[in-house]
Structure 1
């Protein structure tokens, strides 16, 4: 698969709530916290869900304490479950499918997450052998989205995640090491591996963090204003309330909309093309 096609696939993974039956508002479990003012068990509709599956406080979610709702992004899994898996049948109109639909949604969400990571990896200039393996992985992931509900519920997603994680790690290493080789100084003069690091609240303002491995790192409330984060691997990193004002994330790897939605930024934050600037950021 060529880079442009892969990039288009990644950029096309967008949620369309008008084609979804409010699955993120029903299928998921909500725990009262700084992100939500209420407890809501999985499978129970949110009190703010309307009959047309819209949210009655959509434009005031953050002011009403539902910050978590403005962070969530299903990448389009919701409309696929609603319109493809269940062929346009809603859980309200057909209560018999209610439980099954709610169980399928988080599975489809995980599949779409894997599709997003795979398509992004294919958008980079990487060795053919690696690209070939990723292309096969993407094709397999896309085929899973067409399975029926029973088949989806029987999937062991670990069997797909493990080989994909290996390929994504190889992609990250290749991209980052290619950049490191071009940076001033020797490769061993700086530690580029901060996987699962606890950098909560760390002061990093203005730092050159290019090519750092932040896989699974805790960057909660870190001050990353005006940092250079190009070719940084952010897969699984926790960016809640991280200050990204003025930061350059233009070529950051495996960065998701949810991670960005949970962080702080402004009009000067440079984002990858597949990420939208959150409406609640400072202009």
Structure 2
């Protein structure tokens, strides 16, 4: 249902131009996703002095699957090279606190830019293109803010306003389905047997699909913004035109060579190579 979308390169992570902020800023705890506890603001012990991961090629095997599915939407290089002008937190330690506070705000803004960019490619959303363009411009302006301005930004309110607009986009796009789409917004579908389910144009916003069996399911045109696909089996599923699907959702799921994904996203290599 959606057209091809090609988000700007700045919305894709460029780790070579980032000061490993995702390895420092977030906290994580021992779980299926992480092998160790790490408090917020402390560098992961696997982080090398050159801001590279010392176990990057072995992350799943070493118990760091959570690292492989994280996406900053390019916020890392924006903070590192633009907001802080290339001054890193190691050689300029006085920047650390401010940089670490700004990173999650920038990530939130870049995620919104990704969704707004996609929304503007949808012909069905043409009546809202003016509002979408304004929201995109406003969000982009915030990404150029100073560290202090970013810290003062009410990101929750801005996100709420953009989310409401994106919901209107979703409703316009999915209204073209002849039958009434299923509304499973925020539904608890953890471990659900959804093999072969007809979920075309369904509202799956924020749905919990952890470990769900979606083999052969039809998810064409479904709104999956914020849906949790961790360990969901998408073998043979059709996600063509799925609305607001992002790479990290695919990376967190299982799939195979028969899984159909939007052309702007990449099929995870492990879907073809098998588990690590």
How does the TM-score come out when normalised to structure 1? 0.92
2:145 aligned with 1:152, yes or no?
A: no
Deviation by residue 1:24-55 (Cα, 9 ceiling, x = unmatched):
00111111111001111111000000011000
Between 10-19 and 268-277, the greater mean CA deviation after superposition: 10-19
SS of corresponding position for 2:242: coil
Residues of 1 paired with 2:240 and 2:161: CA distance?
27
Secondary structure of 1:9's aligned partner: coil
Give 1:278's aligned residue.
268
What root-mean-square deviation, in Å, do the aligned CA atoms of Structure 1 and Structure 2 show?
Answer: 1.5
Partner Cα distance (1:14, 1:96) in 2: 28
User: Is 1:11–1:274's contact at 8 Å kept on the other side of the alignment?
Assistant: no
For structure 2, the 5+ residue unaligned runs are none
Q: 2:48 — aligned with what? A: 50
| 2:119/2:125 contact within 8 Å kept | no
- Establish whether residue 167 from structure 1 lines up as the match of residue 165 from structure 2: yes
Q: For residues 78 and 18 of structure 1, what CA distance do their matches in structure 2 show?
A: 10
Measured against aligned partners, the alpha-carbon deviations of 1:225-279 in whole angstroms (never above 9, x if no partner) come to 1111110000111111110011111200011112111111112211112222223
**Deviates most, 78-87 or 191-200:** 191-200
Q: Distance in 2 between matches of 1:164 and 1:266?
A: 34
Distance in 1 (CA, whole Å) between partners of 2:77 and 2:125 is 34
Counterparts of residues 217-228 of structure 1 (less than 5 Å): 217-228=207-218
Q: Deviations over 1:50-101 (max 9, x none)?
A: 0110001000000000000001011111001000000000000100001111
Q: Who is 2:136 aligned against? A: 138
Deviation digits for residues 82-130 of structure 1 (CA, Å, limit 9, x no counterpart):
0000000000010000111111111100001110111111111134331
Shift of the alpha carbon at 1:280? 2.4
Cα pair 2:125 2:173 within 8 Å, conserved? no
| In 2: Cα distance, 1:94 partner to 1:279 partner | 37
Deviation at 1:201, TM superposition (A): 1.2
Q: Which of residues 100, 105, 110 in structure 2 aligns to 1:102?
A: 100
Pairwise CA distance, 1:151:
0.6
Gaps of 5+ in 1: 182-186
Question: Does residue 192 of structure 2 align to residue 202 of structure 1?
Answer: yes
The structure 2 residue matched to 1:256, chosen from 246, 253, 260, is: 246
Q: What count of residue pairs does the alignment treat as equivalent?
A: 271
**After the TM superposition, which segments of 4 or more aligned residues of structure 1 sit over 4 Å from their partners?**
none
Q: 1:184 aligns to what?
A: none
| Maintained 8 Å contact 1:10/1:274 | no
Contact 2:182–2:203 (CA<8 Å) still a contact in 1? yes
CA distance in 1, matches of 2:263, 2:97: 36
Cα deviation 1:123-179 (Å, max 9, x = unaligned): 11134331110011001111111111111111001221122111111111111111x
Q: Is the 8 A contact 1:195 1:213 kept in 2?
A: yes
Task: Using the TM superposition, give the Cα deviation of residue 9 of structure 1 relative to its aligned residue in structure 2, in angstroms.
Answer: 2.6
> Which has the higher mean CA deviation after the structures are superposed, 269-278 or 145-154?
269-278
Match of residue 13, structure 1, among 8, 11, 14: 11
